[in-house]
């Protein structure tokens, strides 16, 4: 494929938000304040599962300084059906119950009431005065226990979708889904070697540094302004409008700078409560979660329990693959079991596949998206089993993956047939990497795993405004969580042929730009990037038209090149090129402002594939794992801003290392979360990490003007299994339950020693 | 809530007496401020002791080093005399929190917070450190291992505060060390913390040894049997195993979010062997 050369795309330019962030000027969610603003605080259930018999707020309301108190009675109930809110299909009955419990509290930390008061101290005092009469019920935390017979039932109305005869059965299983390809019996009959094993993961939190924060200001004529930290201001608008019975045009949502989201800021928690409290109090209300509230009340990612079975021929051709996965959704249905099932075997070209998944509720916070939701969970089981297969076959772990890699023409078990994908190129790059070519040191183990994410397109709008001095404001509605402003500006600079620094990208509020679906699914540089390119091209067409007017020639006779309008050929006439600035300064005389706009539903997102290599050392006495070296290889299509791309790859790995080694929710026997802070919810710190070496593979996505695929999600898919595989290499011990924390690994090492001694 | 910043011990003690049990001493504040924010502490009076010179200085005396109770970890880490004589204690102190915390948190505060997992305390116990206390009845001294009585509880009486911690002058050929087990490399709380201070003779035989053990019982403690097991040995495997067993026996931990009984007990033995070797290496050099 011919290499395209670009002037701006692919260069490492200063980030547009850099100066604000390093000087502390950037305004995050909690940095916004309004005159007369009240402090909103949320009362949360101390019980994992309880009927709410009654809530008495009278004492709180009587406390001087309290301006409003609310419960679920202040919001309309919603029907039990899927409905669109900001283009996400959600069950509003569940959403309204998640932001504020109605008949039941379903997890420790579930919001049950909220107050707005003049000070935080008064607000806290008011919470203590609210009397909730709970009838405590038996609870269930673990996913397989929630499925078991006799488990406490969370929702009387829940029935298992897609299962015949389930209409009469109370259950915690919200849905069963299945994907099949080929013929399993035939697959197993071809297999010389079969691996079968069970694996589990723990829910993990996205761990964004910035807690959720929102300020709502309402007026007597029903208008609402909301400032909040979110990955999707239009989705917040949609949710709040539905939950509060308002029209979307009445709500104007401005996204703040965002201190991390990773998928966790795609839903609402305090936002509708702040609006309701503001409406009741007649003053602006600000709700900022504490870290404890973030852990107890906001979505982690789903965990899963799964059984994986693989069959292969002697020469290492995988002929059958089976996965049964139960995923915990938290208190309401909606675990990412679909993506987990679809991603599970997407890296491989296997003829016979059967995948069954279950969406299971239990007494924990409702899950939210987290980087490639579902895919890392399935990959933990599948990629561990692939290594077990390699061990049994006596094959190199990377060679087995290369032999079975998905390629152009591979038909997936969930439907699509792959074209133009980079799985094989990624594996080759991994194999040829300095890391894979370097022998291990004594005591070390090496693990490899691969990962997949679809990447998505969806709706985006963008505008390109040319200023009178020829500089450009680039407006999108996509919150920048991973460097999208810089990437969008680079593509605009490339199109316009002007210096990157002449382009100022901003993220606009819901009233200042057309609809943008939320920042998620690794869609923004792809989809909003397409909208930006279209908008800029529209502006360029206008710039050409103005030059044509000045030169009194047809617009077709004017081309745009190197930031200037030029005659298309010598026959057009002898005109000096007109720069963007020269055209802009005369815009008033040639037809008025020069802008470009675009809105589209982006099609053709490019699937993303990655491979990662880890070397680890294990302290055999303590079970402590040190990651000595890590290389992350990924096909990103085109790296528009390589620094940001590398940052995404490294960031996903860091979160994956935490998921692999230490992160977990610790519940007591009452179902209360015990580790509600970063001290005991152990995300890695810098000294826990090696230098993470990124290798960017570029197989351009033909559906995007610059070949963009998504980047941000694939990197969190392989780490857990790759580290488990490395630990197996270092110790001979196959860990099957996450996290592979020192006490667990130490116990496994000791058990292996005992069993070895018994064998001797 | 009242904030006071006295410049003498007498005033500080008087403020605490006046507070009638609702006073708290503020040194670095790295525990107190967190407790205030979480609503776990709600004192009437906060007595900032950082204006009392005696509490803010490290003094080399003829028979050892005296560390003011409010001296921060960073200052301890930069003190040449302390680094030369008690490197293990310096290491332990420097494990507390982050760089920012290091600039505030003090050894005195680490003692008064009375967490069984306090990093500096097992190292102080191993070193044989003595605590100087001032209160309405004047000055008194006690050994570090006798200071905490239960998690969060000390035997400070009303109106009393720690003024300094006295480290003895080590004998020739002495060394100390501290290690802790945490799942993360830093910014974590010890699952087990263990300090050893020992002295060798010219043949490399241990002539004296003290072992301080933390995070495995309601308070950090001196494990006398472990020290005794090392004395007379050249840290051969058998002696080390006996000392490790003494440490395991001394464990009386709980299962909690930070570790299990089984794991904590095992690690106490693992750390004893590792720490004793480091201390001996330092003693020999």
Each residue's pLDDT tens digit, A448-464: 999 999 999 999 999 99
Fold of A304-455+606-756: Aldehyde Oxidoreductase; domain 4 (3.30.365)
Residue A528 is classified by DSSP as: I
Can you state the percent helix, strand and coil of chain B, rounding each to 5? 35, 25, 35
Closest chain A residue by Cα to residue B260? A743
Q: How many C-beta atoms lie closer than 10 Å to residue B1's C-beta?
A: 10
Enumerate the residues of chain B whose CB falls inside 8 A of the CB of residue A662: 183-184
Determine the Cα–Cα distance for residues B208 and B202; give it in Å rounded to an integer. Answer: 13
Domain boundaries of chain A, sorted by first residue: 18-23+457-602, 32-137+206-297, 304-455+606-756
Residue numbers in A near B257 (CB within 8 A): 666, 674-675, 680
The closest CB to that of A688, out of B185, B257, B260, belongs to B185
| Domains, chain B | 174-284 (3.30.390.50)
pLDDT (tens place) for every residue of chain B, 285 residues total:
999 999 999 999 999 999 999 999 999 999 999 999 888 899 999 999 999 999 999 999 999 999 999 999 999 999 999 999 999 999 999 999 889 999 999 999 999 999 999 999 999 999 999 999 999 999 999 999 999 999 999 999 999 999 999 999 999 999 999 999 999 999 999 999 999 999 999 999 999 999 999 999 999 999 999 999 999 999 999 999 999 999 999 999 988 888 899 999 999 999 999 999 999 999 987
What is the value of ipTM here, to two decimals? Answer: 0.94
Distance from the A266 Cα atom to the nearest Cα atom in chain B, whole angstroms: 28
Residue recorded with tokens 């309880």:
A50
Task: Report the gap between the CA of A620 and the closest CA in chain B (Å).
Answer: 10
Q: Which of A278, A289, A276, A359 is nearest to A325 (CA)?
A: A359
A559 alpha-carbon distance from chain centroid: 41
Measured between alpha carbons, how far is A439 from B41 in angstroms, rounded to an integer? 55
Domain A18-23+457-602 sits in CATH 3.30.365.10: yes
Check B258 against A743: CB less than 8 A apart. no
Minimum CA–CA partner of B191 in chain A: A743
**How close does chain A come to B181, measured CA to CA in Å?**
8
Supply angle C-alpha A494, A495, A497, rounded to 5: 65
Topology agreement, domain A18-23+457-602 and domain A304-455+606-756: yes
Q: Tokens in use for B13?
A: 């003690």
Whole-number Å distance between alpha carbons of A105 and A96: 13
Q: Which tens digit of pLDDT belongs to each residue from A382-429?
A: 999 999 999 999 999 999 999 999 999 999 999 999 999 999 999 999
- Whether the per-residue pLDDT at A532 is higher than 90: the answer is yes
- Maximum CA extent, chain B: 60
Q: Report the top-level CATH class of A32-137+206-297.
A: alpha beta
- E strands, A590-690, where? 594-602, 608-618, 625-635
């Amino acid at each position: 494929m011919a290499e395209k050369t670009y002037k701006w795309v692919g260069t490492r330019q200063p980030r547009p938000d850099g100066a604000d962030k390093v000087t502390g000027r950037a305004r995050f969610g909690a940095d916004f304040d309004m005159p007369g603003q009240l402090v909103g605080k949320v009362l949360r259930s101390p019980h994992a599962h309880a009927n709410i018999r009654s809530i008495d707020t009278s004492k709180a309301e009587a406390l001087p300084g309290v301006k409003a108190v609310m419960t679920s009675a202040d919001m309309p109930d919603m029907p039990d059906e899927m409905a669109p809110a900001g283009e996400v299909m959600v069950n509003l009955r569940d959403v309204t119950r998640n932001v504020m419990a109605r008949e039941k509290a379903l997890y420790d930390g579930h919001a049950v009431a909220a107050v707005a008061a003049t000070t935080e101290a008064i607000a806290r005092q008011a919470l203590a005065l609210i009397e909730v009469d709970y009838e405590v019920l038996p609870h269930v935390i673990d996913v397989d226990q929630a499925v078991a017979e006799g488990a406490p039932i969370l929702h009387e109305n829940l029935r298992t979708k897609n299962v015949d005869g389930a209409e009469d059965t109370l259950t915690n299983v919200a849905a069963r889904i299945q994907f099949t390809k080929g013929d399993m019996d035939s697959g197993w009959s071809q297999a010389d070697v079969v691996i079968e094993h069970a694996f589990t993961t723990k829910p993990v939190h996205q761990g964004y540094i910035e807690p959720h924060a929102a300020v709502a200001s309402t007026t007597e004529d029903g208008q609402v302004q909301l400032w909040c930290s979110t990955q999707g201001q239009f989705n917040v608008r949609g949710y709040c409008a539905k939950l509060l019975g308002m029209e979307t045009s009445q709500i104007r949502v401005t996204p703040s700078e965002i201190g991390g989201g990773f998928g966790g800021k795609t839903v609402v928690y305090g936002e509708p409560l702040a609006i309701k409290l503001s409406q009741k109090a007649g003053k602006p209300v600000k709700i900022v979660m504490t870290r404890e509230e973030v852990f107890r009340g906001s979505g982690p990612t789903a965990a899963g329990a799964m059984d994986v079975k693989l069959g292969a021929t002697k020469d290492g051709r995988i002929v059958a693959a089976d996965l049964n996965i139960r995923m915990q959704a938290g208190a309401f249905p909606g675990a990412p079991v679909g993506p987990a099932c679809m991603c599970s075997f997407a890296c491989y070209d296997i003829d016979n596949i059967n995948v069954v998944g279950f969406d299971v509720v239990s007494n924990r916070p409702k899950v939210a998206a987290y980087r490639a939701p579902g895919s890392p969970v399935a990959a933990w089981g599948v990629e561990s089993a692939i290594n077990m297969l390699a061990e049994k076959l006596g094959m190199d772990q990377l060679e087995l993956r290369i032999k079975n890699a998905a390629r152009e023409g591979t038909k997936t078990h969930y439907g699509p047939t792959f074209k133009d994908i980079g799985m094989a190129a990624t594996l080759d790059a991994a194999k040829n990497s300095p890391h894979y070519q370097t022998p291990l040191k004594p005591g070390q183990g090496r693990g490899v795993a691969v990962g997949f994410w679809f990447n998505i397109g969806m709706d985006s709008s963008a505008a390109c405004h040319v200023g009178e001095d020829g500089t450009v404001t680039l407006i999108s509605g996509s919150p920048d969580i991973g460097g999208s402003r810089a990437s969008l500006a680079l593509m605009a600079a490339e199109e316009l042929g002007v210096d990157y620094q002449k382009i100022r990208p901003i993220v606009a509020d819901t009233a200042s730009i057309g609809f943008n679906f939320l920042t998620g699914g690794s869609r923004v540089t792809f989809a909003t990037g397409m909208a930006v390119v279209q908008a800029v091209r529209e502006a360029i067409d206008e710039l050409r038209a103005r030059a044509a007017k000045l030169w009194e020639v047809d617009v077709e006779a004017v081309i745009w090149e190197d930031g200037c309008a030029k005659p298309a050929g010598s026959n057009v006439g002898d005109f000096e090129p007109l720069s963007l600035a020269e055209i802009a300064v005369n815009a008033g005389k040639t037809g008025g402002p020069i802008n470009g706009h675009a809105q589209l539903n982006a099609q053709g997102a490019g699937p993303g594939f990655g491979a990662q290599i880890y070397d680890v050392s294990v302290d055999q006495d303590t079970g402590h794992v040190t990651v000595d070296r890590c290389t992350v290889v990924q096909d990103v299509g085109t790296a528009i801003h390589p620094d940001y791309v590398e940052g995404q790859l490294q960031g996903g790995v860091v979160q994956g290392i935490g998921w692999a080694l230490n992160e977990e929710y610790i519940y007591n026997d009452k179902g209360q979360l015990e580790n509600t802070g970063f001290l005991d919810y152990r995300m890695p710190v810098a000294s826990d990490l090696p230098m993470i070496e990124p290798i960017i593979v570029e197989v351009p996505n033909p559906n995007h003007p610059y070949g963009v695929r998504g980047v941000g999600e694939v990197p969190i898919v392989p780490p857990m299994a790759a580290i488990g595989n490395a630990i197996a290499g270092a110790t001979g011990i196959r860990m099957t339950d996450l996290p592979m924390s020192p006490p667990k690994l130490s116990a496994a090492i000791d058990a292996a020693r005992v069993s070895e001694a018994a064998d001797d | 809530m009242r904030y006071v910043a006295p410049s003498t011990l007498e005033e500080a003690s008087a403020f605490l007496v006046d507070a009638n049990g609702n006073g708290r001493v503020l040194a670095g504040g790295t525990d107190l401020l967190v407790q205030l924010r979480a609503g776990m502490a709600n004192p009437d009076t906060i007595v900032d002791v950082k204006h009392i010179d005696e509490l803010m200085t490290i003094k080399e005396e003829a028979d050892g080093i005296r560390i003011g109770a409010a001296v921060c970890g960073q200052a301890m880490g930069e003190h040449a005399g302390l680094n030369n004589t008690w490197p293990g204690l310096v290491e332990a102190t420097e494990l507390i929190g982050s760089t920012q915390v290091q600039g505030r948190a003090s050894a005195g505060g680490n003692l008064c917070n009375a967490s069984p997992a306090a990093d500096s305390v097992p190292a102080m116990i191993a070193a044989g450190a003595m605590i100087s206390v001032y209160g309405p009845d004047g000055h008194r001294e006690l050994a570090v291992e006798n200071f905490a009585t239960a998690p969060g509880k000390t035997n400070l009486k009303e109106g009393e505060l720690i003024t300094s911690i006295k480290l003895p002058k080590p004998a020739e050929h002495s060394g100390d060390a501290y290690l802790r087990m945490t799942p993360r490399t830093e910014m974590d709380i010890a699952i087990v913390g263990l300090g050893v201070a020992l002295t060798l003779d010219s043949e490399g035989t241990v002539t004296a040894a003290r072992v301080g053990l933390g995070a495995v019982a309601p308070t950090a403690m001196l494990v006398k049997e472990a020290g005794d097991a090392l004395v007379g040995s050249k840290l051969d495997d058998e002696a080390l195993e006996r000392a490790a067993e003494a440490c395991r026996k001394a464990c009386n931990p709980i299962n909690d979010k930070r570790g299990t009984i089984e794991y904590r007990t095992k690690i106490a033995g693992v750390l004893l062997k590792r720490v004793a070797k480091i201390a001996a290496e330092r003693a020999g050099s």
